[in-house]
Amino acid sequence: MRTGRADARTIALGIALMMVAVTLVSPFPARAQGTPRAVEITAKRFEFTPKEITVKQGETVTLRLTSEDVTHGFYMKALGIDAAIEPGHPTEITITPRTTGSFTTICDHFCGEGHGNMHMKIVVE
Amino acid sequence: MSDRVDRRRFLKIAGTSLGIGALYSVAPLLGADGEAGEVARTLWKKNGEKLKPFSFIQLSDTHVGFSGPPDPLGTQAFERAVETINSLRHRPDLVLVSGDLTHDSEKPGVHADRMRQFKEIAARLKVGTVHCIPGEHDAGLDGGALFRDLFGPTFYAFDHRGVHFIGLDNVSRAKPEVGPDQIAWLKRDLARFPVSSPIVVFTHRPLFDLKPEWEWFTSDGDEVMNVLAPYENVTVLYGHIHRHHEHTAGGARHLAARSLIFAFPDPETTADKKPLPFDKDQPFKNLGLRIIEEPKGRADAPGRPTINEVELTAREYSGTVGINQFLKEGAY
């Protein structure tokens, strides 16, 4: 019995150390198991930041969209993305891209003179 | 009615693009065998109004108020186009303006001034009626409020000499869409017409996915075209893309007019949506006239249409007189 408890403690300690190690080497923030990776995207006239993100084919990712000024759109038909981003009200959308490629995603809510060139890329590898 | 005459080809529409857009002549295509005459009589009976030959012009994307490197000449191309239209031997009955009459401005009063300037220039047109619908630069920031104040409704319909014209608004809502209310209105509007009626739709954005990455689409365009699908003579005229484009789907013909301010490149060969650079030696390059001539031939055996390019050349840049029009053979 005592041996069994010691083994369990050793295993638990090992798992904890591994989780710390994974957290330290992972490029992404720690998250609960099963929670999609979150990517922050900011919109302001007339650009998105970052200008490009990369996700893996089949990976489920949550895009957290915020606007720093006016209402913007976020549209990419092939990825099933069609959202509005209102200032003060972050929008979350979850995608699981099935096809690789570079997908130009646009603001489709007219926001002023430079609206026609407000876009970013979602690269699916 | 004889089955030998294709009613989809019954309506003959020829066009002359003026950088602004196109001059279209509408006429029944009367074949030598007389069968098309029977079609004409049947349509007259069904539609209640006899289709009579006439011409109209589509103007688009004048962007009054725009000033920048792609076109430092401001409204010059628009004003010269007005002069050209007024100099036509056969004056068109109508002018349709398919949006982006003005360039948007957020400075108080400036956008209204630009709309008034557009009206002043358009008022020089010696034609029967000018019909306008908005583009996103006219109506995108205020939902079309200013446009309605100065021009009236953003969507409407009217009849002219047997042709039913429908102006659709796909810019006043937040997204590039027509919207369920307007689609319901369209259904009610079309309900009184037989499927044989000649219909001309004019709108700003393309009603199909031409290049969504450049916002060259209308998200509910398919729904609009489904409403129009039963009709056999549908022509859709649009602007927004600042270049000529032809597309046929489901029997409907979609034609884009060139801009009067600057041209966009071909999205098939160019990655970036940037205006083509201004050429001081050819200031109206890509804004010039384009004459689309329907083929001469029998109604049941039409030939291929041809396109003749016509460039507008400014006196101060080329030394030629005013808007000289140089015809160049073009293949279709």
Which segment, A87-96, B157-166, B243-252, is predicted with the most confidence on average? A87-96
Cβ-defined contact of B136 to A110 (cutoff 8 Å) = yes
Examine the pLDDT at B34 and tell me if it is beyond 90.
no
Instruction: Give every CB contact of residue B161 below 8 A, 6+ residues apart in sequence.
Output: B26, B49, B50, B51, B52, B54, B93
Check whether residue A44 and residue A104 sit in a common domain.
yes
Q: Which of B175, B204, B210 to mutate to test the interface with A (most CBs of A within 10 A)?
A: B175
Which pLDDT score, from 0 to 100, does residue A35 have? Answer: 87
Model confidence pLDDT, tens digit, residues B102-145: 999 988 899 999 999 999 999 999 998 999 999 999 999 999 99
Q: Does B14 map to a domain?
A: no
Lowest mean pLDDT among B178-182, B193-197, B289-293: B289-293
Check whether residue A10 and residue A24 sit in a common domain.
yes
Check whether residue A52 and residue A99 sit in a common domain.
yes
Q: Which domain holds residue A15?
A: 1-30
Model confidence pLDDT, tens digit, residues A44-60: 999 999 999 999 999 99
Check whether residue A2 and residue A39 sit in a common domain.
no
List chain B residues with CB under 8 Å of A113: 103-104
Decide: A75 and A106 in contact? Cβ < 8 Å.
yes
Question: Across all residues in chain A, what is the average pLDDT?
Answer: 85
Model confidence pLDDT, tens digit, residues B280-296: 877 777 774 444 444 44
The whole-angstrom separation of Cα B326 and Cα B288 is 10
Q: Does B293 map to a domain?
A: no
Domains: count for chain A: 2
pLDDT band at residue B39 using 50, 70 and 90 as cut-offs = low
Beta bridge partners of A37: A61
Which pLDDT score, from 0 to 100, does residue A50 have? Answer: 98
Model confidence pLDDT, tens digit, residues B86-99: 877 777 888 899 99
Model confidence pLDDT, tens digit, residues A56-74: 999 999 999 999 999 999 9
Examine the pLDDT at A23 and tell me if it is beyond 50.
no
Check whether residue A65 and residue A114 sit in a common domain.
yes
List chain B residues with CB under 8 Å of A104: 213
pLDDT band at residue B43 using 50, 70 and 90 as cut-offs = low
Quote the DSSP letter at residue B281. T
Neighbour count for residue B65 (Cβ, 10 Å): 21
Cβ-defined contact of B175 to A116 (cutoff 8 Å) = no
Decide: B102 and B63 in contact? Cβ < 8 Å.
yes
Q: A9 by DSSP, 3-state: which?
A: helix
The whole-angstrom separation of Cα B162 and Cα B291 is 24
- B211 part of contact set with chain A, CB < 8 Å: no
Average pLDDT for residues A71-92, to the nearest whole number?
96
pLDDT band at residue A11 using 50, 70 and 90 as cut-offs = low
Q: Does B222 map to a domain?
A: yes
pLDDT band at residue B5 using 50, 70 and 90 as cut-offs = very low
- Specify the CATH number for the domain of residue B197: 3.60.21.10
In whole angstroms, how large is the CA radius of gyration of chain B?
A: 19
Taken in order B138, B57, B212, B263, is the CA torsion positive or negative? negative
Lowest mean pLDDT among B12-26, B193-207, B310-324: B310-324
